[in-house]
Amino acid sequence: MSHPHPDLGTPPPLAEGALRVTPLGGLGEIGRNMTVFEYGGRLLIVDCGVLFPEEQQPGVDLILPDFTSIRDRLDKIDGIVLTHGHEDHIGAVPYLLREKPDIPLIGSKLTLALIEAKLTEHRIRPYTLEVKEGERERIGAFDCEFIAVNHSIPDALAVAIRTPAGMVVATGDFKMDQLPLDKRLTDLPTFARLGEEGIDLLLVDSTNAEVPGFIAPERDIGPVLQQVFDRADKRIIVASFASHVHRIQQVLDTAHEFGRKVAFVGRSMVRNMGIARDLGYLKVPGGLVVDVKTLDDLPDEDVVLICTGSQGEPMAALSRMANRDHQIRIVEGDTVILASSLIPGNENAVYRVINGLTRWGADVVHKGNAKVHVSGHASAGELLYFFNICKPRNLMPVHGEWRHLRAVSELGQKTGISKDHIVIAEDGVVIDLVNGSAKIVGKVQAGYVYVDGLSVGDISEGSLKDRRILGEEGIISVFLVVDSNTGKITAGPNIQARGSGIDDDAFGPAIAKMQDALSRSAQDGVIEPRQVQQLVRRVLGKWVSDTYRRRPMILPVVVEV
């Protein structure tokens, strides 16, 4: 059973005794994870994350799920279950709680600590319920059991949601590292028990479904870090996600072994590592971590900096270092380690940063030339093993692009799950679980909601198109004064071009064409300013296109006298 179906309409009212599943993000994309479960008129949300913008979304800071389909039912939400503390799973929570601050948040200790720190910045004090693996909680209409899973951040949880309509298991992000640094394994015995009980619908992490075999253990990175540290003569700068506690723990351990001091750079990195240390998830030897302001007093060979920016984010510390826009200046002989994977869509931005760092003389170590990253997501071998344990009646791949979702479908079929019982959907598609069968029944609004500074949802696709045109083709403004009675030009047209690559003095032929067209239109009685603007835009646009093969934004300003 697959989508897209172009004729999907508004879903019917939920049948009595049925469970409705509506993903509002995370399908066909890596990020923005959010799924709404509905039973008996009550709602349970699993995760509420953000997506980070790509190059074709200029000026956008974050992309949120669309809350339109639940906005008039916020009082029906029994809680938001957060599977773990990554931004693509918790980053949109503040924006939902702005609309109703008392929606309960349910998650593990570290996950709640990270979201509470984020909510403090938004001046929201949430209602929280801390849960642990092995615990079972009644959250309104939903009976939830929490299961330990291994991921690239501590304290990650899967959740089994029981209702009279059946049991749904949402894995969240997970892998099966058999030698985890924190000795916290993915709880396969519990998944096997749930499989024996009967999993009616399994929502499974799809990100690495195309990768064969099993993911290497996190601890394999330790020896590689030691080799890099051993050959580094000057400063070492490590870029990582601000929540990747296990990776940063290995960097701290290696720095301590080599007698170097460590400083955290970047607000989110300082905040999150402080939380992880205070809660005992990050073990920091005494005297190892110092304030970044003290680094000038230390020799370069004694310094390690840990910062954000491993995805090429333009405002993150590493990008600013590459652009010479940061207090920390990259110099010849520095070593930079990008200790993370490339999120799809970020490749160009990351390689731009790598080139910038290399330009200033840094030795850049990344996944392409050294094993400084292992994934946090189960690969194909692990997923096959997992499906055989869980034996779900229905399978729904989530958290992945289309190629990942399709790959999960193929893996599921190999383990005996019928193609008719595999739901490949996209954001907004509504799935009802009735009598053990999962079926697509309609679609709700689930587009991108853009955050631009303090503006939320005010930026449209049309606005982004205008920004792309401005960035790629420039703008030409035309100023003219017309007689309000006759429509004849009394001053102008005056033309200014910015970013178009066309010199202002080159518009003589275009001005003559506009004057001729406007004179003829005035004779025909076309004197309405809006019509005059359209005529100017059409005549000038055609001239620029014919002469330069360019399509800049044309902004006519018509003043009547």
Q: Which residues lie below 8 Å from residue 347, measured CB to CB, with a gap of 6+?
A: none
Provide φ and ψ at 405, rounded to 5°. Answer: -65, -45
On the 0-12 / 13-18 / 19+ scale of CB atoms within 10 A, 42 is middle
b/e 343-369 (16+ beta carbons within 10 angstroms → b)? bebbeebbebbbebbeeeebbbbbbee
Q: DSSP label at 340? A: S
Closest alpha carbon to 394 in 198, 210, 207? 198
Helix (H) or strand (E) holding 560: strand 553-560
**Within 10 A of 105 (CB to CB), how many other CB atoms are there?**
23
CB-based contact 389:195 (threshold 8 Å): yes
Three-state secondary structure call for residue 402: helix
Q: Which residues are annotated as a binding site?
A: 373-377
CB-based contact 429:443 (threshold 8 Å): yes
Tell me which residue has tokens 């996944």. Answer: 367
Helix (H) or strand (E) holding 382: helix 380-390
Distance CA 64, CA 57 (A): 13
Instruction: Give 250-271 as a DSSP string.
Output: HHHHHHHHTT-EEEEESHHHHH
Helix (H) or strand (E) holding 136: strand 136-139
Tokens of 388: 């055989």
Provide φ and ψ at 51, rounded to 5°. Answer: -115, 140
Q: DSSP label at 420? A: G
Instruction: Give 200-266 as a DSSP string.
Output: SEEEEE-TBTTS-S-PPPGGGHHHHHHHHHHH--S-EEEE--TT-HHHHHHHHHHHHHTT-EEEEES
Query: Considering all CA atoms of the chain, what is the largest pairwise distance in Å, rounded to the nearest integer?
Result: 86
Helix (H) or strand (E) holding 449: strand 449-452
Helix (H) or strand (E) holding 498: strand 489-498
Q: Which residues are annotated as a binding site for substrate?
A: 373-377
Tokens of 452: 């631009």
* Distance separating the N- and C-terminal Cα atoms of the chain: 64
Closest alpha carbon to 376 in 271, 245, 284? 245
What's the sign of the alpha-carbon dihedral 192, 194, 200, 204? negative
Distance CA 337, CA 333 (A): 13
On the 0-12 / 13-18 / 19+ scale of CB atoms within 10 A, 525 is exposed
